[in-house]
Structure formats: C-alpha cells, structure tokens
Amino acid sequence: MIEISGLAKRFAVENPKKLSEQEKKDPRLKGRFFNSVRDVSFSCGKGEVLGLLGPNGAGKTTTLRILSTALKPDSGSVSIDGEDVLANPLIARKKIGFLSSSTGLYGRLSGRENIAYFGELHGIDKKVIAERIDEMADLLDMHSFLDRRAENFSSGMKQKTSIARAVIHEPALVVLDEPTTGLDIMATGTVMEFIQRLKDKGTPVIFSTHHLDEVQLLCDRVTVINQGKTVFNDTLSNFGALSDGQMHQSFLKTLSMDTGDADNVVNL
C-alpha cells in the first residue's frame, strides 16, 4: 500500500519572461515561485491500478517524480507499506519501479544491455537478470529488437525497453509517467496487458495518462489533479457515476469542482 498525503513542491522561477501565458495567469504563480504541486493526496493498495489524470501542467509528473524520490517535496508525506519514502530514499528506490518520460536509454548499448545494466545496479544475479529479460521480452514483444543498439530505436521500442528496465528488480510498486504516449495501437495494447499482468500479480501500479479509455479498461482508482491540487480521489465506479458512466464528462466535472481551496476534494 502506498499513501501520499499533502504533497507540495514549488520551483523558483528563474526567468519570468519564459513562463507561458497560461502560467502567468495561473494562481500557483506567487512572486518568484511557481507552486507546481500544492496539495496532492491519494493511496493505492495491493493489486490496485490508480490512474492519475489532469490537464497539461496540472502537476502529475512533479507528483510522480516525488514518489520516485527524484524530487524532494517541500511538504507532505509518502509511505510504502508503512515505510517513510522521503526519509529512506534508498529503500524506496528498491521498492519502486519508475518509468520517467525524461530518462533516456544508453544509445551505444543494446536494449538487453540497457535493461541488464539496471538489474546489475540493483545487485541482481546475472542469471536471474537474463531470465527476467527473456520473460519481459515475451510479454512486451521485444525479441525482434532486444539485441540491437538502442540509438536507432523507435518510440515504441524505447518505451518498452524503458518499462522493462523500470521493473527488472520486481518492485513492490510500479509508477509509470504517461506509459503509452507516442505509442501505436498495438504497442499501447501490449503495455496495457503488461500493466494488467502486474495487477494480477498483486503489484500496485500508478500511471498518469490523458487517455480515459485506458483508465476505464485498467483502473480501480482515479485521482484527478488540477492546478496542483487533488480535486477527485476515489474508485473508478464513483468517477464514472459523476456523469452516468461518461468518463470524459466525469473528468470535466471534476475540473469544474476545483474552486481553488483545499476543501473541494470530491471524495464520494
């Protein structure tokens, strides 16, 4: 079980002229600081898949980077199975598999070598690494490119290799930042099946997405972030019930419920 409570993270604005027009009008901009995440809370239990939704710039990536310990929050708490992630980042890194949208592969290494390298960093036996890579190559349909150098991989090949790399140590929790962005329909289906398999094995999965069909297919829980705050945090069925099962309408409804203070979280 992972529990996130009251996360907040602000960034210093180095050059206000570089802010987008939308960011300049955003209530999160306070003087020289942009409060990207202001109050984010949710939890995800064993065998559950949680979909993290929100408009562009809502704070999803910032939140997921905090969970993965890549970023330190200014306030709030993150615990996995009762263990304080922020106080024990090394233990947390062992427990969490994180797919980031920004971490690249080593172009000179093959897909297999990229994944194996991470396995070795985690201290896993080489034989076990080889077995796990074979298993993941089956599941993610990677055999045709696994031994090619990663520098010329397509987006789909890169993403599958990055996902395999993120879970090589069989983490207790998997966090995926927009895992299907840029993938074709077949690769998207393969990644969705891979998440379903993690769920069947009891591994909690948190993933951010803009695709409501993926949420409907896979998620048990839905969290919506708007302007850095959790505005909805509940089951998929209660999310659907906000507007008779029309996911798109439910999403829009949660956004309109954000009145800008912390008391408007819809927790049905």
Ligand X SMILES: Nc1ncnc2c1ncn2[C@@H]1O[C@H](COP(=O)(O)OP(=O)(O)OP(=O)(O)O)[C@@H](O)[C@H]1O
Q: Does 50 bind ligand X (CB under 6 A)?
A: no
Q: Could you give the angle at which helices 126-139 and 185-200 cross, rounded to 10 degrees?
A: 120
Q: Alpha-carbon torsion 41, 174, 206, 162, what sign?
A: positive
* 3, 5, 23, 43: residue in contact with ligand X (rule CB under 6 A): 23
CA 200, 201, 206 angle in degrees (round to 5)?
75
Q: Which of these ranges, 50-58, 148-156, 186-194, 259-267, lies near ligand X under the rule CB under 6 A?
A: 50-58
Structure tokens at 122: 């985690």
| Contact assessment for residue 59 and residue 37, using Cβ atoms and an 8 Å cutoff | yes
Q: How many CB atoms lie within 10 A of CB 61?
A: 21
Nearest to 262 by CA among 227, 235, 236: 227
Least distance from ligand X to the Cβ atom of residue 255, Å: 13
Least distance from ligand X to the Cβ atom of residue 162, Å: 16
Structure tokens at 224: 């919506």
* 44, 50, 58, 192: residue in contact with ligand X (rule CB under 6 A): 58
Q: Residue length, the chain?
A: 268
Number of residues counted as binding ligand X (CB under 6 A): 12
* Cα 158 to Cα 105: distance, rounded to the nearest angstrom: 7
Q: Does 207 bind ligand X (CB under 6 A)?
A: no
* 47, 57, 89, 240: residue in contact with ligand X (rule CB under 6 A): 57
Q: Does 134 bind ligand X (CB under 6 A)?
A: no
Q: Does 223 bind ligand X (CB under 6 A)?
A: no
Q: Does 36 bind ligand X (CB under 6 A)?
A: yes
Q: Which of these ranges, 58-66, 115-123, 132-140, 168-176, lies near ligand X under the rule CB under 6 A?
A: 58-66
Residue closer to ligand X (CB basis): 17 or 127: 17
Q: Which residues bind ligand X (CB under 6 A)?
A: 11, 23, 34, 36, 54, 56-62
